[in-house]
Amino acid sequence: MTRPLTPKHLATLGLLAALCACAQAAQAAQTAQATFPDRPVRVIVPFPAGGSTDLVARALSVELGQALGQPVVVENKPGAGSLVGSELVVRAAPDGYTLLMAGLSNVFLPHVHANLKWNPLTDYEYIGLVADLPNVIAVNAKTPYRTLAELVAADKARPGTLSFGSAGTATPSHLVCEMVNHRLGTKMQHLPYKGNAPAVNDLMAGHIPVMCNNLGGTLPYMQGGQIRILAQTGKSRSPAAPDIPTFAELGVAGLDTGLWVGLAAPKGTPQQIVATLNQALAKAMALPETRDKLARLGATPLPTQTADFHKRVAEDRRAWEPVLKNVDLKGN
């Protein structure tokens, strides 16, 4: 005769079932990590198509996909100065299949959105840096300004009458011009656009006299004679624009860092998957095809080690802190 199960027996069975479920889950996770990736990987660009971050992501995607053995699909999720796309990745499953093409804007976001429930600097697993793109200050070619000094003199003669366009509030293109205001005492007024492309169009049309933008998105129009670039960020002149002086050469400190971009995954992504992604990134970045495509954008490849990514973020936080504290990033 079968004895009825006592509460103690039921508790033991429940514990065994839970342990079995945990073991199965752990085994499934190990299998998923071992077979990663077994489907396409998404790279979220938190800016509109055609901007510098988007162009770098697309320049990298084919070779990165080949290194991973799966397609890499670039998706644009713009909005709120990169917040929309960045938060999408933070909330994604930490399985390596949804990545962020992070950038300098991640350093700015905590100053723009003070009440965020997550941290744009720490709530990611850094995979590796990809490239550095200089930012530039440019003017319409029909303006009389041929040097940064002439532009500064014109603004100081009539403070606040010159306006500059950008890709949007709290984007790198916005804050480069704010750094110029901060360092040189100019009063140029900010006109935010929804992405670099419409701002460049208005610059060429003469609707705005000045714009700060990335070099890759500006260089073709300088070569075509529609705009004039006065200065570029970086410690040295870009090989793509060797005739354009750096801000440092012109006496503007604090702009020796460019618009870096790098791959990041949601916090909690297994380190085995992060390592797989890092190895694939390093392999893709070593290919001449990738480096040639980046060079055409005016981008300089960066070291892909995770430690370099952490160091770059820390350096930029220190460099930009004075400007970020003194610019109204919510009222523009």
- The strand pair at 163-166 and 189-192 is best described as parallel
Q: Looking at the structure, do residues 144 and 233 belong to the same domain, yes or no?
A: yes
Task: Read off the pLDDT of each residue in 55-80 and give the average, rounded to a whole number.
Answer: 95
Judged against a pLDDT cut of 70, whether residue 33 lies above it is answered with: no
Which structure tokens are listed for 23?
Answer: 């073991």
Region 289-300: mean pLDDT is: 90
- Residue 319 located in a structural domain: yes
CA dihedral 54, 77, 260, 251 (to 10 degrees): 100
State how far the Cα of 189 lies from the Cα of 201, in Å rounded to an integer: 18
pLDDT exceeds 80 at position 187: yes
Q: Answer yes or no: do 271 and 291 share one domain.
A: yes
Q: At residue 115, what are phi and psi to the nearest 5 degrees? A: -100, 25
* pLDDT exceeds 70 at position 159: yes
Question: Which positions ≥6 away from 326 have C-beta within 8 Å?
Answer: 182
CA distances from 166 to 33, 90, 154, 207, 329 (A): 41, 26, 20, 13, 13
The stretch 148-166 carries a mean pLDDT of 95
Quote the pLDDT of residue 331. Answer: 47
CA 78 to chain centroid: 12
Within a domain: residue 3? no
Q: Which residues pair with 260 in a beta bridge?
A: 132
Tell me the pTM.
0.80
Domain end marker among 250, 269, 292:
250
Range of the domain at 190: 135-250
Residue at 9 is within a domain: no
Instruction: Read off the CATH number of the domain in which 176 is found.
Output: 3.40.190.10
Closest by CA position to 277, among listed 97, 145, 143:
97
pLDDT value at position 239? Answer: 86
pLDDT, residue 332, reads 43
In a domain, 23, yes or no: no
**Residue 65 placed within a domain:** yes
Q: Which two tokens stand for residue 287?
A: 């290919």
Distance CA 81, CA 85 (A): 9
pLDDT digit string (tens) for 223-279?
Answer: 999 999 999 998 888 888 999 999 999 988 878 777 899 999 999 999 999 999 999
Tokens (6 digits) for 74: 């670039």
The C-alpha atoms of residue 156 and residue 304 are separated, in whole angstroms, by 43
pLDDT at 319 over 50: yes
Task: Measure Cα distances from 6 to 14, 17, 19, 306 in Å.
Answer: 12, 17, 20, 55
Q: Is residue 35, in this structure, part of any structural domain at all? A: no
Q: In what order do the strands lie in the sheet with 259-266?
A: 72-76, 41-45, 98-103, 259-266, 124-133, 300-301
Looking at residue 48, which CATH number applies to its domain?
A: 3.40.190.150
Query: Across all residues in the chain, what is the average pLDDT?
Result: 88
Characterize the bridge pairing of strands 210-214 and 300-301: unpaired
203 found inside a domain: yes
How many Cβ atoms are within 10 Å of 309's Cβ, its own excluded? 25
Q: Is residue 20 part of a domain?
A: no
Domain count for the chain, please give it.
2
pLDDT at 212: 93
Return d(Cα 236, Cα 284) in angstroms, integer. Answer: 25
